[in-house]
Amino acid sequence: MHPIHGTWKILARGPVGELPSVNEITVEGDTFSGVMADEKSGKDFPIFNGKIDGNHVTFEATMKMGFVSMTFQLEGDVSEDGQTVAGTFKALKMQGTFTGEKLS
């Protein structure tokens, strides 16, 4: 099983501040999906279009903020030991970074 499979504590940093979340990721072959639990709003958002290429991962998540829905495109790299991840995201004209640590 690819190390992205499992529970991750993620912190995204961008123009609107920090967004902490806990993400449940399920791997199926070289793809994955899951749920992002936004710790600020208490809402869950789907993770979709997850793709694995070695330690490099790409995925999307659509978040609803008020009346506006935004789809975030994220890409990053899982560490060699499978315990951390770091990368970048973009949504509309926003860009930022994220880091994460595997919980289980």
Domain boundaries, the chain: 6-102
Among the four given CATH numbers 1.10.1660.10, 2.40.128.120, 3.30.450.20, 3.40.50.2300, the one describing domain 6-102:
2.40.128.120
User: Which pLDDT score, from 0 to 100, does residue 71 have?
Assistant: 94
Q: For residues 3 and 71, what is the distance between their CA atoms, to the nearest angstrom?
A: 24
pLDDT classification of 66: cutoffs 50, 70, 90: confident
User: Which pLDDT score, from 0 to 100, does residue 75 have?
Assistant: 98
pLDDT classification of 53: cutoffs 50, 70, 90: very high
User: Which pLDDT score, from 0 to 100, does residue 28 have?
Assistant: 96
pTM of the full structure? 0.91
User: Which pLDDT score, from 0 to 100, does residue 14 have?
Assistant: 93
Q: For residues 97 and 72, what is the distance between their CA atoms, to the nearest angstrom?
A: 12
User: Which pLDDT score, from 0 to 100, does residue 101 have?
Assistant: 98
